[in-house]
Structure formats: C-alpha cells, structure tokens
Amino acid sequence: MTNLPMPIAATATAVWNGSTVPALIAAGGERASMRFLEFFAANIRNVHTRRAYARAADEFLGWCASVGVPSIAAVKPVHVATWIEAATRELAAPSVKQRLAAIRHLFDWLVTGQVVPINPAHSVRGPSHVVTSGQTPVLDPSEARALLDSIDTSTPAGLRDRALIGLMVYSFARIGAALGMTVEDVYTQNRRYGCGCARKAASGTRCRVTTTSTNTSSPISTAPACATIPRGRYSARSDAAPASSHARRCRKRTPMR
C-alpha cells in the first residue's frame, strides 16, 4: 500500500440519548449506539483499559469517517489493516498492538449484540513484538553491599529491614514471596544459609542464598529482641495469621536435596 492516510483523532460525533457517540456508531442506529456505550460501561471494569480502548476506538472511527466509511456496518478488514499499517509508521509496536486489541474487542462486542455480522479486525495481524530481555534493574554487588551497609542495625527494625532486603537481593525473591516466608523456612546447610520461598502459583521453591549473604541474615536470629519469635509467619504484628496449610504443603513438595 502507498500513500496511506495517517490516523487522526475523531472529529465526527453525534449525540444519542444525551450521550456523545462517534458518527459511524450513530449512523448504525439506536441498537449500535447502545451497544457501543455498553462496551465501555459494562464490559470493561479497569479504568485505565477503558480510557485506552476509548481513545483507540475514537481514533479509528474518526479515521474511518474521514475516508468515507458511511456506518459501522460498512467497516471492512481493509480499513482496519490500512489504519494499523499507518499507525505502525508512527507508533511503537506495543502501542499498535494495544489499539488493534481494542478494535477487536469492540467489534466482538458488536457482533455478539448483532450490530455487525462479522468482526473485520479478526483477520488483521498486528506488528510482531518480541521481548528478549527484561527491563527490571538489578543491583551489582557493590551497590547491594552499599545498600545493606547503610541500614542501621542497632534496632530490631533495622535488623528486620536488612534481613528482608538481603533476602530479596541474594535470592531474587519477590516481595510477596519474601513476606510470605515463615521462620522455619530459613535453614543452615554446610555452614551456609538457605531459604524456602513460596513463589508463583504458590509453588514451593527451595533456594540457597549466596555465601555473601551469610553475614546479612545471621544477626537477626541472634538479636535479643528476636529471640522469642514464634514459629509461623514472621511479621511485626503479634496477631499476624500463620502461613496457610496450602502454602506449607507446596513448600514440602520440592525439598532441596
């Protein structure tokens, strides 16, 4: 395709029953207008998804009106493909895929409401987007050591913070898995500390921390204020609930050999 028109914001709108809808939707009749409003009001609960999908639908329907499409029922796969092709030249692949997903879901909703016979966006493929490396920053050893050394360990709260941060740094456990640990999850093997964390889908995973973390976790177990910590989930609250039986069973399934 050549000389593709670029996506534009919708400018053609109409008022239906006190609500503003795109002109292509209003041209489809009362059923199309009601179904369009229900898509955003009843079908999408997340406010951010609703805002993004509304922006994509507004841009696409406005573009269709600018190229002469008379109503929503006249939208064809070639219109969707042309709009996506034009958007690919200006936007990143994830943004284009989000807009295509919004159009697909909108037309799926209109098809089930018998407003249009088929979904013209189903046969349109978006740009490929492959993530080969994560974007989560990782502390190098010197940064991790500087962070741990900056914590005041003269109080039980400081010991707790250093042990928690050290656990996440050296075992790469998520904060939810670290907070879900119990006191008996920490063990010693060959003078090295290890821990068992409940990770995704409550699957128990035994992970041994590195040798560097030996001096990070050991003081918390010998501190006088921590000597009376009961077995079960560790928390600053004394009335915290113990670990669930399901999490305990998951941790027992994969013991570290």
Q: In terms of domains, do 108 and 145 share one?
A: no
Q: Answer whether residue 164 is part of any domain.
A: yes
Q: In terms of domains, do 149 and 243 share one?
A: yes
Domain range for residue 96? 13-112
Q: In terms of domains, do 145 and 248 share one?
A: yes
Average pLDDT score over residue span 243-255: 48
Q: In terms of domains, do 145 and 241 share one?
A: yes
pTM exceeding 0.85: no
107-111, 144-148, 185-189, range with the lowest pLDDT: 185-189
pLDDT at 196: 64
Average pLDDT score over residue span 234-243: 44
Average pLDDT score over residue span 30-36: 91
Model confidence at 219: pLDDT above 70: no
pLDDT at 206: 53
pLDDT at 207: 52
Task: Name the percent of the chain lying above pLDDT 90.
Answer: 35
Confidence of residue 197 (pLDDT cuts 50, 70, 90): low
16-20, 77-81, 204-208, range with the lowest pLDDT: 204-208
Q: In terms of domains, do 153 and 107 share one?
A: no
Q: Answer whether residue 122 is part of any domain.
A: no
Q: Answer whether residue 66 is part of any domain.
A: yes
Average pLDDT score over residue span 188-210: 57
Q: Answer whether residue 184 is part of any domain.
A: yes
Q: Select from 112, 128, 159 the last residue of a domain.
A: 112
Q: Answer whether residue 1 is part of any domain.
A: no
Strand partners of residue 13 = 22
Q: In terms of domains, do 75 and 156 share one?
A: no
Number of structural domains in the chain: 2
Q: In terms of domains, do 233 and 146 share one?
A: yes
Confidence of residue 122 (pLDDT cuts 50, 70, 90): very high
pLDDT digits (tens, 9 = 90+) for 1-18: 444 444 444 445 544 444
Q: Select from 72, 92, 112 the last residue of a domain.
A: 112
pLDDT digits (tens, 9 = 90+) for 44-54: 989 999 999 99
Q: Answer whether residue 90 is part of any domain.
A: yes
Q: In terms of domains, do 103 and 181 share one?
A: no
Q: Answer whether residue 118 is part of any domain.
A: no
pLDDT at 201: 39
Of 9-18, 21-30, 127-136, 222-231, where does the model show the most confidence? 21-30
Q: Answer whether residue 65 is part of any domain.
A: yes
Q: In terms of domains, do 87 and 18 share one?
A: yes
246 vs 73 pLDDT, higher one: 73
Looking up residue 178, the CATH number of its domain turns out to be 1.10.443.10
Q: In terms of domains, do 172 and 249 share one?
A: yes
Confidence of residue 239 (pLDDT cuts 50, 70, 90): very low
pLDDT at 167: 80
Q: In terms of domains, do 156 and 79 share one?
A: no
Q: Select from 66, 96, 112 the last residue of a domain.
A: 112
